[in-house]
Amino acid sequence: MNLLFVADPLETFKTYKDSTYAMMREAQRRGHTLAACEPRHLRWQTGGQVSAHVRRIRLTGHEEQWFHESPQAPAQRLAALRDFDAVLMRKDPPFDSEYFYATHLLEQAEREGARVFNRPRALRDHPEKLALLEFPQYTAPTLVTREAQAVRDFHAEHRDIILKPLDGMGGMGIFRVRDDGLNLGSIIETLNRHGEQTLMVQKFVPAIAQGDKRVLVIGGRPVPHCLARIPQGGEVRGNLAAGGKGVAQPLSTRDREIAEALGPVLAARGLLLVGLDIIGDSLTEINVTSPTCFQEITDQSGFDVAAMYIDALEAALRENTRA
């Protein structure tokens, strides 16, 4: 297969933990060829096809200078996305306007015959905080609103709550307000910008002390181990980017129940890879843009997540060919 990864700049990859790198490494091990570009390199012009200035690369196996780029003249680097066997959208959040525009270019590439994973429309239809609204039976009590009084009422009911912006990532902008309501007004003003911005509020789940579990679902099936991201020190956030400690562990019965219920539904919509965030028994987020934790789970459990992903990608392409 000839694969194109739409991702952040290659020079920014931390290969010891990067899930996109793990995908690339497994794909190359199987003999597939690799190319990469950034969303800013996507283009379309009347009479043509969605194309990009791409970098043809080969992994070196070394931590420093981890890839070798084939020399190409500028004209040679321009390639139509439909000419690749698969296009993997792996740009990290935030899901901002430029990400949104990129999904429209990728959807046009699909109309021209490209095979894109995760599907661009599915990326737009499943914002990572709000996608869980479809599955309330698996969530902790949750409120989505702009209204300050609604947040105050929610706090009065549940007494210990988490507030978060809808466009946050890596634990950014998350606040906990306990029973005393200390600074609740100021936090609401910060997050909802005096009623101009929607936020999410959830009942605090004490099981965060045992970790915010990232459960990966590939091709509709759960990876048998998750990564519990455990808050450190006085932090309430378990995100690795916020200093959480990642501990791989087998899925619990509840983890598997949620993953097996949601997996086939989301896969049917074109989401080959999903990262469910589960605290205790409660689903808190559905991550679809660029789910991570491949290497941490593999290194600690021995289960090869990247191999499962490339298996699913190859199977999806075979199914696409038969169709």
- At 244, is the pLDDT very low, low, confident or very high (cuts 50, 70, 90)? confident
- At 230, is the pLDDT very low, low, confident or very high (cuts 50, 70, 90)? very high
- Report the helix count and the strand count for the chain, using DSSP H and E: 9, 19
Counting the structural domains of the chain, the total is: 3
* Residue 241 pLDDT: 73
- Residue 253 maps to a domain: yes
> Final residue of a domain: which of 83, 118, 153?
118
Q: Which amino acid is at 276?
A: L
- Residue 131 maps to a domain: no
- Residue 99 maps to a domain: yes
Residue 8 designated active-site: no
Instruction: Assess whether pLDDT exceeds 90 at residue 262.
Output: yes
Instruction: Assess whether pLDDT exceeds 60 at residue 43.
Output: yes
pLDDT average, residue stretch 272-298: 97
* Residue 7 pLDDT: 98
Question: In the chain, pLDDT over 70 holds for what percent of residues?
Answer: 98
- At 255, is the pLDDT very low, low, confident or very high (cuts 50, 70, 90)? very high
The residue that leads in pLDDT, 64 or 40, is 40
Q: Give the pair of three-digit tokens for residue 21.
A: 């790198």
Provide the CATH number for the domain around residue 74: 3.40.50.20
* Residue 169 pLDDT: 75
Q: Which of 55, 237, 255, 296 is catalytic?
A: 237
* Residue 149 pLDDT: 97
Q: Which of 129, 192, 203, 255 is catalytic?
A: 129
Pairing mode of beta strands 225-230, 245-250: antiparallel
Q: Within this chain, do residues 14 and 105 fall inside the same structural domain, yes or no?
A: yes
Pairing mode of beta strands 212-218, 225-230: antiparallel
- Residue 215 maps to a domain: yes
Question: In the chain, pLDDT over 90 holds for what percent of residues?
Answer: 87
Q: Within this chain, do residues 242 and 265 fall inside the same structural domain, yes or no?
A: yes
- Residue 60 maps to a domain: yes
Residue 129 designated active-site: yes
State pLDDT tens for residues 92-141.
Answer: 988 899 999 999 999 999 999 999 999 999 999 999 899 999 999 999 99
* Residue 82 pLDDT: 98
* Secondary-structure breakdown of the chain: helix, strand, coil percentages, each rounded to the nearest 5: 40, 25, 35
- Residue 182 maps to a domain: yes
HSE toward the beta carbon, residue 271, CA cutoff 13 A: 31
Cβ-in-10-Å burial (0-12, 13-18, 19+) of 60 comes to exposed
pLDDT average, residue stretch 3-31: 97
State pLDDT tens for residues 139-196.
Answer: 999 999 999 999 999 999 999 999 999 987 777 889 999 999 999 999 999 999 989 9
- Least Cα distance to 60 among 52, 69, 51 occurs for 69
Residue 318 designated active-site: no
Q: Within this chain, do residues 38 and 103 fall inside the same structural domain, yes or no?
A: yes
Q: Which of 25, 164, 203, 213 is catalytic?
A: 164
Q: Which of 25, 214, 239, 296 is catalytic?
A: 214
* Residue 214 pLDDT: 97
Q: Within this chain, do residues 27 and 106 fall inside the same structural domain, yes or no?
A: yes
pLDDT average, residue stretch 16-42: 98
Instruction: Assess whether pLDDT exceeds 80 at residue 272.
Output: yes
DSSP string, 210-266: G-EEEEEEETTEE-SEEEEEE--TT-S---GGGTPEEEEEEPPHHHHHHHHHHHHHH
Pairing mode of beta strands 42-43, 273-279: unpaired
Instruction: Assess whether pLDDT exceeds 80 at residue 210.
Output: yes
Q: Within this chain, do residues 311 and 234 fall inside the same structural domain, yes or no?
A: yes
For residue 294, count other CB atoms closer than 10 A to its CB: 28
* Residue 197 pLDDT: 95
Residue 237 designated active-site: yes
Q: Within this chain, do residues 34 and 64 fall inside the same structural domain, yes or no?
A: yes
Whether residue 94 is preceded by a cis peptide bond, meaning omega within 30 degrees of 0, is: yes
Residue 38 designated active-site: no
Q: Within this chain, do residues 95 and 30 fall inside the same structural domain, yes or no?
A: yes
* Residue 274 pLDDT: 98
Provide the CATH number for the domain around residue 229: 3.30.470.20
- Least Cα distance to 279 among 226, 242, 222 occurs for 226
Q: Within this chain, do residues 6 and 73 fall inside the same structural domain, yes or no?
A: yes
Residue 214 designated active-site: yes
Q: Any idea how long the chain is? A: 323
Q: Which of 38, 110, 285, 296 is catalytic?
A: 285
- Residue 8 maps to a domain: yes
Q: Within this chain, do residues 294 and 188 fall inside the same structural domain, yes or no?
A: no
- At 64, is the pLDDT very low, low, confident or very high (cuts 50, 70, 90)? confident
Residue 277 designated active-site: yes
DSSP string, 3-25: EEEE-S-GGG--TTT-HHHHHHH
Instruction: Assess whether pLDDT exceeds 70 at residue 323.
Output: no
Q: Within this chain, do residues 71 and 9 fall inside the same structural domain, yes or no?
A: yes
Q: Within this chain, do residues 86 and 113 fall inside the same structural domain, yes or no?
A: yes
Q: pTM for this structure? A: 0.94
Provide the CATH number for the domain around residue 187: 3.30.1490.20
Q: Within this chain, do residues 306 and 239 fall inside the same structural domain, yes or no?
A: yes
Identify whether the C-beta of residue 230 lies closer than 8 Å to the C-beta of residue 244: yes
Residue 71 belongs to what domain range?
A: 2-118
Residue 245 designated active-site: no
Whether residue 118 is preceded by a cis peptide bond, meaning omega within 30 degrees of 0, is: yes
- Residue 152 maps to a domain: yes
* Residue 322 pLDDT: 61
